[in-house]
Amino acid sequence: MDIKRNIKAAAQLLDIKKLRKHQVKPIHSILNDQDTIVLARPSAGKSIIYQIPAIMNADQRTIVIEPTLSLMYDQVRKLNDKGIPACAVDSTMKRSEQSKALKRFINGKVHILYVTPERFVAESFYEILQMVPLYMVVVDECHCVLDWGYSFRQDYLRIGEVADHLPNRPVLAAFTATATQSDMQEIAAVLHMNDPAVYRNDLQCSNLTYIKKRTIDREQKRKLLCKYLRKYHKNSSVIYCNTHKAVDAVYEHLKKKFPDEVTRSHAGFSSAKRVKNEQAFLSGDKSIMVATTAFGMGIDLGAIDLVIHFNMPLSLTDYMQQTGRAGRDGQKAHCVLLYDDEDYHINQAILSDSGSKRARKQLDCMKEFCDDTKHCMSQLLLAHFGQTMKKNCNHCTICQKSRRNNT
């Protein structure tokens, strides 16, 4: 087998003219049947790293585990548009549709199947996995293994166990844009990865300008929200809120200010309505999305040039993921963080049900980031994920304030 030529052929099917340096080594790692974990910033082309080996091993099957339905459908659509046989199976589909998709997967007419962790560990799905030659299991957005597995989605913690019990253990590959060094070690352990090759890439997004503003009350927040939208909203904007109630309130407020431009997404909607609203935003029919934190994870929409947090995020992992939705085509973009003391207490209440010490510690790190008035926001953010940034970014809120004070 001419590995180099076959990689090039698979890349061409994905409309990739030349692979980036940070993609080459993990691709070879997977092709050498080595468990692999990759940390790379948003828009770094992480999906290509597993898609190329999957295409090259099309006589076998690849399972991709995704945390959200919107992400599953986005990935499937892009592969199908390129003629790659992929599909998704989820609980919103009719049973007849699920059965048809699974038959195509079993018969080899589809060789890349996207599922949720809940589906992957289900006993009925395990029976199907024993019927197919399984090449690889991919855990996309693998930070969710720790962030969600220890709280409300425990099935994330069973993925490795299921993979171990398959007749022929597949290659395991995991990808994220947000994990510390210790996180990556724990993710590998939870997934039962065998001596994985670990690749950490540059996380800095120099095209993003970080802005943070402590607010007095909700009225000031709403005024600042509209101010920043009028100032920076050009193509597409995402506004993140920490509760369904906040999403609905912000949506009602903005649809009067920006008529016919705003849509919303949260788990309080039916899956069908949520997907419909998200597709309206992704297609460009709506240019402003108001959503809770799961929206946009891994979505590659290059037009987003503004991300606003209407509330303090639950963690720096969430913050990094969500601000990473902006500027994915390399264009300059703005990330605005609005927060007040009430946000912290609401987030504590949100986390109280999970009982996770890890989650509470992450929230405290987020609060420290918000309250820090001395250090460059980019430096603080990258330092949390184990990367040193030698120079200040010169354009975040703190850097701009420092420059004004020194003139």
pLDDT tens digits, one per residue of 279-300: 899 889 999 999 998 776 656 6
Residue 320 parent element (H or E): helix 316-323
Distance between CA atoms of 48 and 268, rounded to whole angstroms? 33
Q: Band of the pLDDT at 113, cuts 50, 70, 90?
A: very high
**Residue in the structure block whose two tokens are 């703190």:** 398
Q: What is the pLDDT of residues 45-63, one digit of tens each?
A: 899 999 999 999 999 999 9
Determine the CATH number of domain 208-371: 3.40.50.300
Which pLDDT score, from 0 to 100, does residue 71 have? 84
Alpha helix positions (H), 14-136: 21-31, 46-56, 69-81, 95-106, 117-120, 123-129
Lowest-confidence segment of 28-37, 252-261, 273-282, 385-394 by average pLDDT: 273-282
Residues 326, 399: Cα–Cα separation, whole Å: 20
- By CB atoms closer than 10 A (0-12, 13-18, 19+), residue 186 is middle
pLDDT for 355: 64
Q: What confidence score (pLDDT) does residue 299 get?
A: 64
Calculate the average pLDDT of the chain.
93
Of 233, 392, 394, 378, the residue nearest 320 (C-alpha): 378
pLDDT digits (tens, 9 = 90+) for 3-44: 889 999 999 999 999 999 999 999 999 999 999 999 998 778
Average pLDDT of the segment spanning 337-355: 90
Per DSSP, the three-state class of 212 is strand
* Residues 322, 363: Cα–Cα separation, whole Å: 15
Element containing residue 75 per DSSP (H, E): helix 69-81
The verdict on domain 3-200 having CATH code 1.20.1090.10 is no
Q: What is the pLDDT of residue 407?
A: 58
Rounded mean pLDDT, 159-173: 95
pTM reported for the whole predicted model: 0.88
Distance CA 406, CA 200 (A): 36
Whether residue 153 is predicted with pLDDT greater than 70 in this model: the reply is yes
Residue 141 and residue 163 in contact, taking contact as beta carbons nearer than 8 Å: no
How is the chain split into domains, by residue range?
3-200, 208-371
